[in-house]
Structure 1
């Protein structure tokens, strides 16, 4: 019987690439995002059974509606990918956008991680991947302050729940993908004017799927970024914040 995967934020970028690569591996899919037309276009390109589930995950009731719709289904893999960022001085960025970011990047991840891990525990198997960011492995990022804070939440939650699952010898796997810059629509949504060099979404997803197979808790795609994140633990926190701020401020230059 084909395996079944659910992907949130599937209408573009990393989420759409997860859909392509999982479909190529024979997974049946449920694609979740706000933009129905994008989901329909992507679904038409895939080679396996593919359902679409339009939902605005900035709303708690929509997260619960998705979890309720999956309650009686065997979910083999859940990719908690929906999220976005914003770039700019904290004094100038829009509060409403930041609060939506918290709703999607934090509250939706919290609800869906809780509901899906509980379901997978009941069904006796399953894997859940939260899509975080290398930003979440650092102490803070000036000029992307709220985004860094939300991704730190995702990393912390994922590491803690993964440790609990290991302690109880659970058959359920939970991991967190922490890429650096990836070539997607992220920069456009985040008001980035100058994009830093990054990896392709295809490479990012290949690394993520390999990390899931190896049951790694934190997955950092690419040897350069993985090395940088490993070495960051040796640097003083104020220095890391200053370097992150310098990098993010470059994104604001024209």
Structure 2
């Protein structure tokens, strides 16, 4: 049987890297997409023949189109590239931060989906995974820009599913809650390690990137007629966006 191909964006770290490892373990050929070539090449070497590194900025529509044109096949697309910038209130937020979040979280996913959709349809059993967030479903103070971007990802998934109802492509949305990775919170707060650490302070067991990778692998390996429309995943300690069990000394 022909090995299936999975394209994973944002594969240089965090959930993307963990997803790439997990899909490779499931037998996929994994095309690793991100901007940091050194990290991608290291991961590709780790995965052996199952990994292929492609340096790509998902916000560059022309570069995405060229990438797609050179790809022989695509069975699974994991639109994972994204991220948050800042935690400012609406009154003081920098529009440039909002624009940057929208570009990568929404338009990046749009570019990859548009470019690879013909190959996903041609596969006869394609899968698009949109990595959104609980922030795309429930807002919180200081999170409007990120919540708006992830709501855009959510809407993209829902609309695409409607538009592809008669095509052999399923659309899966995974919405993680609190996930501790090496870079997400650190990048959000401009490298401020103390603020980043405070996000997870007292939470004994936040989710890890591997937990979300496990969810991706489970959803994409279901029989092709099974569509997991939306999978919301939180750690047990996070009952809701604002309700988190924290243990203090």
TM range (shorter): 0.7 to 0.9
Give CA deviations for 1:58-77 in whole Å, capped at 9, x if unaligned.
Answer: 3232332333333xx22111
Give CA deviations for 1:37-66 in whole Å, capped at 9, x if unaligned.
Answer: 110111111143321110122323233233
Provide the rounded CA distance (Å) in 1 between the counterparts of 2:133 and 2:234: 13
**Other structure's SS at 2:128 match:** strand
**Other structure's SS at 2:84 match:** coil
Provide the rounded CA distance (Å) in 2 between the counterparts of 1:76 and 1:57: 19
Q: Paired residue for 1:251?
A: none
The alignment's TM-score, normalised by the length of structure 2, stands at 0.82
Provide the rounded CA distance (Å) in 2 between the counterparts of 1:117 and 1:65: 14
In structure 2, the CA distance between the partners of 1:96 and 1:227, relative to structure 1 (3 Å rule), is closer
CA contact (8 A) 1:14 1:201 kept: yes
Aligned pairs (5 A) from 1:15-54: 15-54=16-55
**Structure showing the higher helix proportion among its residues:** 1
Q: How many residues align?
A: 227
Structure 1: gaps (5+ residues): 229-242, 248-254
Aligned pairs (5 A) from 1:160-171: 160-166=159-165, 168=166, 170-171=167-168
Give CA deviations for 1:94-146 in whole Å, capped at 9, x if unaligned.
Answer: 433332221111111112222323432244321110111111112x3321211
CA contact (8 A) 2:178 2:235 kept: no
Structure 2: gaps (5+ residues): 190-194, 245-249
**Other structure's SS at 2:31 match:** strand
Q: Is 1:101 aligned with 2:105?
A: no
Provide the rounded CA distance (Å) in 2 between the counterparts of 1:225 and 1:109: 30
Provide the rounded CA distance (Å) in 2 between the counterparts of 1:33 and 1:104: 11
Alignment RMSD: 2.3
